[in-house]
Structure 1
Amino acid sequence: MSLSVNQLEEARRALDAPLYADVAGDIDVSFEFFPPKNEKMAATLWDSVATLAPLGPRFVSVTYGAGGSTRERTHATVARIARETGIPAAAHLTCVEATKAEIDAVAHEYWAAGVRHIVALRGDSPQAGQAYAAHPGGYENAADLVAGLKRLHPFDISVACYPECHPDSADATADLDNLKRKMDAGATRAISQFFFSPDTFFRYRDAVAAAGIDAEIVPGIMPVSNFAAVVRMSKMCGTEVPTWMERLFAGLDDLPEARQLVAATLTAELCRKLYAGGVKQFHFYTLNRAELSYAICHLLGVRAKAREVKVAA
């Protein structure tokens, strides 16, 4: 990792002073949600949106199920966030099981609803364990999707990147080549897959720069509220789960409040080390819960910019 003099000074401060006492709050945050499946989940989601909105995120994103399985719910959630909170809302779009015409129609709907930011993803096969295959008449991959979206409207487009290499990439070089194609097609920034070691991100950031990619690389942060679930997700996306993390969560299965405290501590430490290395943008995978992300943002110096944001139940 290459650090400037200012970053070295910040690193020393992180070691010498109370870790969070003097963090300036000079960061940008964004949050990811998924569309709710029922009324109870909807209530949790909108409570979380209302809690996090005063932190002034530069955008919030809403995921999109394989094959468009959540298409209507994603659209409704994105439109409501944009309408009721004023926060820029980003809608996920994937290439899975849809023709170009079908995806273009969804993109036009978003534009008409005032959505200007798309998170463009290849997506994964809807059949677990099966290799991804492009849909006949569909977009081939994320780079193709980005180019197609740019032909439709001047969207702000985020794409995914993988500090530990996408499972379908032959190697790290091929993975970086794919990222470069996405950026060259018109993407604005890349949001990373979650990871658990700051060095993983720093090494990747250096590799991205060495590959001639100068776009913004935003670390994706996953607060670990359910260790077993994160282990499952990590196996699917190739993220390494450190053995020390398993030890720290051992024995907490039936102690949710203690588990929350441990999760907040570990994730805040990761973010603090990233901040010491010059990272000023963070994207939180909230899993539709606000508490952990809010606490970590607070430790990083982010404060509410408005007293209250009302989101109707």
Structure 2
Amino acid sequence: MNPATISPTGRDIRLSFEFFPPKTPEAEGQLWETAAALSAYGPGFMSVTYGAGGSTKAPTLATVRRLLSMGLPAASHLTCVGATREEVNAVVADFQAAGVRHFVALRGDPPGGVGTPYRPHPGGYANAAELVAGLRAIADFEISVSAYPEKHPQSLDVAADIDMLKRKADAGADRALTQFFFDNDAFERYLERVRAAGIGIPIVPGILPIHNLAQVRKFAGLCGTSVPAWLVERLGPHDEDPHQRAAIAADLAARQVEDLMALGIGEFHFYTMNRAKLVSAVCDRVGFARRPACAAGAAA
């Protein structure tokens, strides 16, 4: 990874940014502008989401290829739900041929959607730990996985969640990217339990600067993330004032990052929503150094 540098202390902090495949020409243009703008912070990688059962394979692959052509360090999400091992391995081969060397290995949501029972596909990878092991058997990929400071909504309890994370780490994962959260105390408690379980890989906080409070509360309800009352009280009154809302959202996310840095955290993963302005505002408030950005249409 190429680290971004925190100013003024000079401490190295590693950043990564997450995108989703665009669905319209307008959204596509916005994504390339966003990726180019955020390249100024020297990210270790930019990841692209991927639908269950390969439902977004083509747009994900096209997006990753474009990022690579821009000279950016691209990683692809990969799910194993709804597919055989052979089908998943074939997808891996396609991405590998395109130049992808980093996967974010995920089980994926059940075919029936969030909240419906999960059943492994016959002949498929049963879970993300098996998927990690499968990737390791194919090549020496860089592999990131997921982690849930407030528990995956389908896990029996936090202990079961941490056990699965340990299985993913033991299978060869390089790091875990967390679901977004707003309660740093909950993250700190989770990290203590993770380390006590003998899991040594980096646990990278997932940071979601809030563009739309109502949308974030909906997302949080689906993924089991708590939205503190103090956060609603700060942002709620400014729904009709987008400039003030954005300034407060940037301040809140910057303070969250600074607090986590004070705990010794040295890596952060930003959920960008394919928009650069708010994420850039957070990075600038924290003091991450900017470098020359790449051009949105430049090829490597």
Partners of 1:124 and 1:173 lie apart in 2 by 21
TM-score under structure 1 length normalisation: 0.90
Out of 76, 84, 91, which is 1:106 matched to? 91
Q: Which residue number in structure 2 is paired with residue 268 of structure 1?
A: 254
Q: Which residue number in structure 1 is paired with residue 112 of structure 2?
A: 127
Out of 82, 88, 92, which is 1:97 matched to? 82
Out of 251, 269, 288, which is 2:237 matched to? 251
1:81-230 correspondence runs (5 A): 81-84=67-70, 86-128=71-113, 129-230=115-216
Contact 1:117 1:157 (8 Å CA) reproduced: yes
Counterpart secondary structure, 2:12: coil
Contact 1:26 1:301 (8 Å CA) reproduced: no
Distance 1:261 1:25, change over 3 A: farther
* Post-superposition CA distance 1:84-128 (Å, at most 9, x none): 1x2221100011211111110110111111110000001111323
* Post-superposition CA distance 1:29-61 (Å, at most 9, x none): 100000000101101111100100121101110
Counterpart secondary structure, 1:268: helix
Following superposition, the deviation at residue 22 of structure 1 comes to 4.3
Partners of 1:301 and 1:248 lie apart in 2 by 23
Give every structure 1 segment of 4 or more consecutive aligned residues whose post-TM-superposition deviation is greater than 3 Å: 20-25
Which letter does structure 2 place at the counterpart of 1:139? Y
Q: Tell me whether 1:30 sits opposite 2:30 in the alignment.
A: no
Unaligned runs of 5+ in 2: 1-5
Out of 236, 244, 255, which is 2:222 matched to? 236
Following superposition, the deviation at residue 164 of structure 1 comes to 0.7
The farther-off stretch of 34-43 and 125-134 is 125-134
Contact 2:101 2:142 (8 Å CA) reproduced: yes
Contact 2:129 2:171 (8 Å CA) reproduced: yes
1:51-70 correspondence runs (5 A): 51-70=37-56
The farther-off stretch of 20-29 and 120-129 is 20-29
Partners of 2:88 and 2:240 lie apart in 1 by 43
Q: Which residue number in structure 2 is paired with residue 16 of structure 1?
A: none
Which letter does structure 2 place at the counterpart of 1:60? M
Counterpart secondary structure, 2:238: coil
Contact 1:58 1:87 (8 Å CA) reproduced: no
Q: Which residue number in structure 1 is paired with residue 65 of structure 2?
A: 79
Q: Which residue number in structure 2 is paired with residue 39 of structure 1?
A: 25
Distance 1:166 1:194, change over 3 A: same
Partners of 1:208 and 1:118 lie apart in 2 by 22
TM-score under structure 2 length normalisation: 0.93
* Post-superposition CA distance 1:70-96 (Å, at most 9, x none): 110000101110121x22211000112
Contact 1:33 1:63 (8 Å CA) reproduced: yes
Corresponding residue pairs, total: 292
The farther-off stretch of 126-135 and 242-251 is 126-135
Following superposition, the deviation at residue 23 of structure 1 comes to 5.2
Contact 1:67 1:96 (8 Å CA) reproduced: yes
1:288-303 correspondence runs (5 A): 288-303=274-289
Partners of 1:227 and 1:99 lie apart in 2 by 38
Which letter does structure 2 place at the counterpart of 1:92? H
Partners of 1:97 and 1:257 lie apart in 2 by 42
Distance 1:23 1:298, change over 3 A: farther
